[in-house]
Amino acid sequence: MAAIYDNQNIRWNMSIDKQDVQKIAHLARLALTEADADQYQLSLSSVLSLVEEMQSVNTDGVEPLSNPLEMTQRLREDVVTEENRRDAFLANAPQTEAGLFLVPKVID
Amino acid sequence: MFEQSISTLAQKLRNKDISSVELTRLFLARIAKLDPQLNSFITVSEQRALEQAAAADALLQSGKGTSLTGIPVAHKDLFCTEGTLTTCGSRMLNNFIPPYESTVTSRIQQAGAVMLGKTNMDEFAMGSSNENSFYGAVKNPWNLDMVPGGSSGGSAAAVAAGLAVAATGTDTGGSIRQPASFCGITGLKPTYGRVSRFGMIAYASSLDQGGPMAKSAEDCAHLMQAMAGFDEKDSTSADKPADDYLANLNTPLTGLKIGLPKEYFGEGLDPQVADVIMAAVKEFEKLGATVKEISLPNLQLSIPSYYVIAPSEASSNLSRFDGVRFGHRCDDPKDLLDMYMRSRAEGFGTEVQKRIMIGTYALSEGYYDAYYLKAQKIRRLIKEDFVKALEEVDVIMGPVAPTTAFGLGSKTSDPVAMYLEDIYTLSVNLAGIPAMSIPAGFADGMPVGLQVMGNYFAEAKLLNVAHQYQQHTDWHLQTPTMAKGA
């Protein structure tokens, strides 16, 4: 990955290469063709250059804000509140057997 | 009949001038006739609508019900509706029949409204033009060559064309306000946590918020009466009673302090849009408001901050689509990894994959601090700008978008051009405050929306401000020509 600071335009030019794209796609579990990877290399680089503007801002001493209302997580009693609706939930699954979700064989 | 307000229709239903079944049939006929031009609906739930209408008529017969009883509405196809296809605009969910109902649609149903169907949207609410839908682009009823805005473009087009009395939308970075502006309707993004997110398919959980889209502020207030309020099932729901949104609509605006942020009127704003906004502000002065210039200095940073935070949260939220429990699964997977990778690549469109990858990158080892944490620190600066400004003024006004609706296909080739369109709306979501878009005029025949932003939980104030404006102007009563033919 290469970050090039362009003094004339006062903005960062972030470019990522095709290998980076394939690595990110693998982490995100997305199968990309060669042609897809070319496209995403361009579009991801554009977006990363756009967001690079953040790096010029001084945020020393600023606390990150994760919830706009700064609420804390509400807790509840650890009791069963839902009824068993196994059949309803299985109805949307691509493949099921004996009341279970079916996936390709994992262990031989 | 299709142009009438919820209050008028509710009165007619109560007086038996019309039945809910008749009203519902009227709207279903309009959808059948006009929607082939617009593509604003993904699913029309005719049977469910007629059953609900019959139930509403029975309730009205016994003198019961609310102002929404028997009123035909539409829901963005991101709210889970039990037994009715819910696609989120994606191929990934093209066969998903939710086994449960979202809190928003459930409350609107309990209030007696009739669900006509589910509206088109940008896939997983990612987009500002509705061109990212697997089910095809939506057209703007004011000009069929233009986009309706997004991501709640189907809801906006349907209401503008009179295919539903009102609709629901969601707003993560402007997705209620911008399409409302482009289609000439009224839309409200409530305070973060005011409306339950339970059963809303998540895009960016710390920004997502559902809200009403309708012809007028008064109609929006009727929907908010049903939608808003604490919900145990949403862990970020605000534990605070909802206001009475109808009670203060008629409060005079004498002494209202309006702030105009100078950053909203700078370079990039179409001069014709600026003229419409300034004319609207003058109208408020006539109603007794005072105006002062304010500053939101970090506005420009809302774009980079948003385009790190939203994709990061999306990459996490959308990991649930793995081809195991619901959604699309590829043919003949050779192993589990192949199944994940191909199911997701086939199920998600380009924009969604792009945002998942940006988020994955921003959250990956070695980059988290430089991207996600940095974006959250900037988010606090943006919030503090609003908090400070709202100590001096009651509401903040400005444009919703730099231009009116743009042409279909005109911004799809440049990967960031569309992102820059969101400059006036993103900061509101980052701060979590409520904001509205209200019709304020036209530029070159296309509607222009005025944005009104307020303090946390000031929805009733915003609705009051918008309603007073609408008592003195008729921009919200304009109807596109294509809607008059049926």
Confidence of residue A106 (pLDDT cuts 50, 70, 90): confident
Give the tens place of pLDDT for each residue, B336-352: 999 999 999 999 999 99
Supply the mean pLDDT for chain B: 97
Q: Contact, B439 vs B476, CB < 8 A?
A: yes
Confidence of residue A71 (pLDDT cuts 50, 70, 90): confident
A66 has a pLDDT exceeding 80: yes
Mean pLDDT of A36-60: 94
Residues B5, B20, B76, B155: which is the catalytic one? B76
Nearest CB to B378 within list A42, A59, A71: A59
Give the tens place of pLDDT for each residue, A7-44: 333 344 577 999 999 999 999 999 999 999 999 999 99
Q: B302: part of which helix (H) or strand (E)?
A: helix B302-317
Q: Which residues 347-366 on chain B approach chain A with CB closer than 8 angstroms? A: 348, 350, 353-354, 356-358, 360-361, 364
The confidence score (pLDDT) of residue B213 equals: 98
Nearest CB to A31 within list B300, B345, B433: B345
Percent of chain B with pLDDT over 70: 100
Q: Contact, B148 vs B161, CB < 8 A?
A: no
Can you give the residue ranges of every domain in chain A? 1-56
Strand partners, B73: B115, B166
Mean pLDDT of B80-93: 98
Both tokens assigned to B369: 């601090």
B369 has a pLDDT exceeding 80: yes
CB contact under 8 A, A40 and B357: yes
Q: Which residues 217-246 on chain B approach chain A with CB closer than 8 angstroms? A: 232, 235-236, 238-239
A6 has a pLDDT exceeding 60: no
| A53: region left, alpha or beta (phi > 0 left; psi from -120 to 50 alpha) | alpha
CB atoms under 10 Å from CB of B239, counted, come to: 10
CA distance B244 to chain A (A): 22
Q: Residues of B with CB below 8 A from A104's CB?
A: 333-336, 338-339
B73 has a pLDDT exceeding 80: yes
- Please, what sign has the CA dihedral across residues B80, B81, B87, B93? positive
Strand boundaries in B228-303, DSSP class E: 257-261, 290-294
B486 has a pLDDT exceeding 70: no
Is B76 considered catalytic here? yes
Q: Residues of B with CB below 8 A from A91's CB?
A: 97, 99
Is B155 considered catalytic here? no
Nearest CB to A44 within list B206, B327, B358: B358
The confidence score (pLDDT) of residue B377 equals: 98
Which of these, B33, B45, B19, lies nearest to B101 by C-alpha position?
A: B45
A1-56: CATH number: 1.10.20.60
The confidence score (pLDDT) of residue B365 equals: 87
Q: Residues of A with CB below 8 A from B340's CB?
A: 29
Give the tens place of pLDDT for each residue, B300-325: 999 999 999 999 999 999 999 999 99
Give the tens place of pLDDT for each residue, B140-168: 999 999 999 999 999 999 999 999 999 99
B13 has a pLDDT exceeding 60: yes
CB contact under 8 A, B344 and A73: no
Burial readout B390-427 (b: 16 or more C-beta within 10 A, e: otherwise): beebbbbbbbbbbbbbbebeebbeebeebbebbbbbbb
Give the tens place of pLDDT for each residue, B113-132: 999 999 999 999 999 999 99
Cα separation, B336 vs A104, in Å, equals: 6
Q: Contact, B288 vs B255, CB < 8 A?
A: yes
B105 has a pLDDT exceeding 70: yes
The confidence score (pLDDT) of residue A13 equals: 56
Cα separation, B155 vs B169, in Å, equals: 7
Give the tens place of pLDDT for each residue, B220-276: 999 999 999 999 999 999 999 999 999 999 999 999 999 999 999 998 999 999 999
Q: Which residues 258-297 on chain B approach chain A with CB closer than 8 angstroms? A: none
* DSSP string of B90-125, one letter each residue: -STTTT---SS--HHHHHHHHTT-EEEEEE--SGGG
Nearest CB to A65 within list B357, B383, B456: B383
Q: Residues of A with CB below 8 A from B357's CB?
A: 21, 24-25, 28, 30, 40, 44
Task: Write down all domains in chain B, each with its CATH number in brackets.
Answer: 6-253+403-484 (3.90.1300.10), 257-297+378-391 (no CATH), 300-375 (no CATH)
Mean pLDDT of B180-192: 98
Give the tens place of pLDDT for each residue, B394-419: 999 999 999 999 999 999 888 788 89
B451 has a pLDDT exceeding 80: yes
The confidence score (pLDDT) of residue B414 equals: 81
A4 has a pLDDT exceeding 50: no
Q: Residues of B with CB below 8 A from A88's CB?
A: 99
The confidence score (pLDDT) of residue A10 equals: 37
ipTM of the complex: 0.94
A5 has a pLDDT exceeding 60: no
CB contact under 8 A, A66 and B300: no
The confidence score (pLDDT) of residue B412 equals: 85
Percent of chain B with pLDDT over 90: 97
- Please, what sign has the CA dihedral across residues B147, B148, B154, B159? negative
Cα separation, B257 vs B261, in Å, equals: 13
Predicted TM-score (pTM) of the model is 0.96
CB contact under 8 A, B356 and A30: yes
Give the number of A-B residue pairs with CB atoms closer than 8 Å: 171
- Judge whether B307 is closer than 8 Å to chain A, CB to CB: yes
Is B151 considered catalytic here? yes
